[in-house]
């Protein structure tokens, strides 16, 4: 039986989630980015097809949500 992945977040550009992708990989979270390829080819049209959707495996959803929330609440210091 195929597992149904759960949508966790939606992004417009790859730059918005590239660090998050690495964080998920470090914790061995099972995920896919739906519409990622088309957004690379047509970056200014990602909103037309619903954006780039982060889909996570149901068993990893809780851990992925913690990582995502921490990622969004992080403040980065600007080095000048």
pLDDT, tens only, 47-80: 667 788 999 999 999 999 999 999 888 655 444 4
Structure tokens at 41: 């080819």
**Predicted pLDDT at 20:** 93
- Residue 68 is predicted with a pLDDT of 93
Task: Give the CA radius of gyration of the chain.
Answer: 14
Provide the whole-model pTM: 0.78
Q: Which residue has the higher pLDDT, 40 or 13?
A: 13
23-39 average pLDDT score: 89
pLDDT value for 49: 72
* Annotated domain spans of the chain: 1-42
């Amino acid at each position: 039986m195929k597992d149904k992945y759960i949508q966790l977040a939606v992004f417009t550009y790859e730059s918005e989630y590239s660090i998050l992708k690495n964080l998920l990989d470090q914790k061995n979270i099972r995920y896919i980015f739906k519409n990622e390829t088309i957004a690379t080819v047509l970056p200014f049209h990602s909103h037309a097809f619903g954006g780039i959707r982060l889909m996570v495996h149901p068993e990893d959803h809780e851990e992925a949500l913690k990582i995502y929330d921490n990622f969004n609440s992080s403040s980065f210091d600007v080095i000048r």
